[in-house]
Amino acid sequence: MSRTRTLVAVAAALLVVVVAVVVAVRVLGGDEAEERAERARSAGATFDDVVVLAPDDAQRVLWTDWSGIRAEVGTDLTASSPVDEVQDMLDRGFDADLTATTALDSSASTMQESFAFSPATLEWELFTQSERAATLTMRLGGGVSTDDVADALRALGYDEPADAGGTWLSNTDLAISGQVTPELSYIALDAGRGLVFASDQPEAVLVAVDAAAEATSEPVPREVVSRLGTPLSAAAYDATYACSALAMANADADEQAEGEALVAAAGEVNPVTGFGIGAEDDGSVRVALGFETSDQARTNADTRATLAVGPAPGQGGDFADRFTVDQVTAEGEVVVLALDPVEGAFVLSDMSNGPVLFATC
């Protein structure tokens, strides 16, 4: 064989190897993505898993691990548990500052009595809000199936869809009108995965269904959510929402001036790319702030640490009245604040609503 033919043969062989490697990487990548998607839809999923089910345009993503909360407050409920026991669980969860993220609190009693599912049996709840709509994605548990839910919706008078995957429609004649959140007006069921989707707008239900089927969303930077660990309840915001909802602009003029002075004294502050706060089962709270670069994160770790131990204009008093700061670290492009709440303080509830000085943009 000539030298030219030999080189061509070698090049062709190398090309086959390269193509095989690329195909293998793509297949493995696809398998990994699908594994993550199935994990997100499962009963034992964490917030880091489930966030990929949120609609792409979600700006505010709220997580409630109902299974974990029931275990944390020491209640063992079923679909037939009395309403007062469900309310007792909610009260205990509220006292532990673990239910600020749910959209179902005021609806729980009626749900337990009439919907076949409620916070007494749900595994978890993902509540999202965007400029367009709000949606609920919920994982059934406690032996409750989508057939049970469908039977309950028929009994309640919801208009049944033509196909099993369609949208159930409530109407003003329902006996439960005014007793549950408007987010339960339109409902869709995924029998294969035990998921329930709901919204106050019919088109938003379909958006939630599609988002869960694709399971590729990243409405808040993934690294921000992953730094929250495995919270029982959590809130995560994109940059636009965080810089509005947590801004010192929500405070009165005197408090804004105090905040500006405190920020100027603390040092350089950069805009956040995302914000997250989560409550753990050990009572601790983590805050994650995303930044454009790791250099910004290191700089802001010092700045935010200074702000988090001082006065809390807009919230009142000092942050020390609410928590102690155990540690502040820069992890890649994310600053993580580990907080130890003062007994009786509602840190997640307070710090997920503005103004929050150490989350300022």
Q: Is residue 233 a contact partner of residue 98, using CB atoms and an 8 Å limit?
A: yes
Asked, for residue 6, whether it belongs to a domain, the answer is no
Instruction: State pLDDT tens for residues 48-73.
Output: 999 999 999 999 999 999 999 999 99
Instruction: Specify the pTM.
Output: 0.89
Q: Based on the domain organization, do 119 and 267 belong to the same domain?
A: no
The pLDDT value given to residue 169: 93
Q: Name the nearest CA neighbour of 227 among 47, 42, 104, 6.
A: 47
Q: Based on the domain organization, do 274 and 352 belong to the same domain?
A: yes
Q: Which of 189, 214, 239 is the last residue of a domain?
A: 214
Q: Which of 167, 185, 214 is the last residue of a domain?
A: 214
Q: Based on the domain organization, do 59 and 195 belong to the same domain?
A: yes
Give the mean model confidence (pLDDT) for residues 300-304: 97
Q: Which of 160, 182, 214 is the last residue of a domain?
A: 214
Instruction: State pLDDT tens for residues 122-163.
Output: 999 999 999 999 999 999 999 999 999 999 999 999 999 999
Dmax (CA) of the chain: 88
Amino acid of residue 142: G
> Residue 38's beta-bridge partner residues?
none
What is the extent of the structural domain holding 229?
Answer: 222-359
Give the mean model confidence (pLDDT) for residues 61-88: 97
Asked, for residue 29, whether it belongs to a domain, the answer is no
Give the mean model confidence (pLDDT) for residues 30-49: 78
Instruction: State pLDDT tens for residues 12-34.
Output: 333 333 334 333 333 334 676 67
- At 289, list the tokens: 């702030």
Q: What's the rounded Cα separation, in Å, for the pair 94 and 83?
A: 16
Give 167's pLDDT tier (boundaries 50, 70, 90): very high
Asked, for residue 2, whether it belongs to a domain, the answer is no
State the chain's mean pLDDT as an integer: 90
Q: Based on the domain organization, do 198 and 241 belong to the same domain?
A: no
Please report, for residues 122, 233, 253, 277, the alpha-carbon distance to residue 68 in angstroms, rounded to integers and kept in the order given: 10, 9, 41, 17
The pLDDT value given to residue 32: 64
Q: Based on the domain organization, do 137 and 205 belong to the same domain?
A: yes
The pLDDT value given to residue 40: 77
Asked if the model's pLDDT at residue 11 lies above 90, the reply is: no
Asked if the model's pLDDT at residue 7 lies above 90, the reply is: no
Q: Based on the domain organization, do 242 and 274 belong to the same domain?
A: yes
User: Mutual orientation of helices 66-73 and 83-95 as an angle, nearest 10°?
Assistant: 90
Q: Indicate the number of domains in the chain.
A: 2
Which residue has tokens 């400029």?
131
Q: Name the nearest CA neighbour of 63 among 228, 266, 192.
A: 228
Which residue has tokens 């001082």?
310
The pLDDT value given to residue 33: 66
